[in-house]
Amino acid sequence: MMRIFLLGLFLVAACASGPQPEPAPAPAPLTKPIVIGEQRIITSSALGDQREINIWLPPSYAGSEKRYPVIYLIDGALTQDFEHIAGLAQYGAITWMFEDVIVVGVQTKDRRAELTWRSTDEGENRDFPTNGNSAAFRKFLTDEVMPLIEANYRTSGEDALMGESLAGLFIVETFLKEPGAADTFIAISPSLWWDHGSLGGDARKILDDFPKGERKIYLAIANESGTMRSAMLDIVKALKEEKPKGVAWTFSDRPDLEHSTIYHREALEALVWAFPRTAEE
């Protein structure tokens, strides 16, 4: 009996020390990141700072050799407007509502400084002492960001600037003062109240001697009133009366919307207007 018992223990020990089955593979993770683009960091000489540049490529980009227009989105950090404007570009690509584009989001930090020229309003200078650096930000955009994108992506040479609020102010200033910076300008509810609405007052004189060239500008305003609205209407009137050669423009007056709700809705209309899809595409 003892022998049988010891033999049983031996067999149990042998089984325990023999080859064991492979453990079951770990279950696949239940979540994974959703990637909508890629990011580059630029060390800017013009700004003396590092900036986040976010790039969205259309779905057709990887499988073609096509070259694409580029939208340079001001206030384009991940915490700013990049994701929702890239979403509109994705929507346009899958619905064929407008041409496929590359979206480049350009980060701003001190928006009052980077998107304004120096105000002549004492109150604005007191409240926002860093204001007045839009020329440096424009240099950063045209001399550093645009060459980087053109060197690394298949661009067509057609560039658009897009922005809302203070970024819209920067777009309108760039159109009037440095129109060679881009081909298309999209300004949604631009903060034209800045500096006593001076862009509106200067528009007619600037457009009277506007440089020749094919350009587009899309202007939109919500239910804003006061200097912001009057300056916008001054610019629209100047465009009507001066008729600058080669400039296509449109104005969308949306009193049914507010400053906080206009951007996404008017951005879609602007993209459809600015980048119509041709029958050949």
Domain edges within the chain: 36-274
Q: What is the DSSP letter of 180?
A: G
| Report field, pTM of the whole predicted structure over 0.95 | no
Domain 36-274: which CATH number of 1.20.1730.10, 3.30.70.2740, 2.40.50.220, 3.40.50.1820: 3.40.50.1820
| Confidence class for position 281, pLDDT limits 50, 70, 90 | low
Question: What confidence score (pLDDT) does residue 280 get?
Answer: 59
Amino acid at 254: R
Rounded CA-CA distance 162/143 in Å is 18
Rounded distance between C-alpha atoms, residue 244 and residue 212, angstroms? 8
Q: Is the per-residue pLDDT at 229 higher than 70? A: yes
What's the pLDDT tens digit per position in 21-53?
677 777 777 898 888 999 999 999 999 999 999
Residue 224 has pLDDT above 70, yes or no: yes
pLDDT surpasses 60 at 5: no
C-alpha torsion angle, residues 261, 107, 199, 113 (rounded to 10)? 120
Q: Is the dihedral of CA 251, 256, 262, 265 positive or negative?
A: negative
Residue 154's pLDDT is what? 98
Place of tokens 């629209």: 236
- Gap between the Cα atoms of 270 and 97, Å rounded: 11
Mean pLDDT, rounded, of the chain: 92
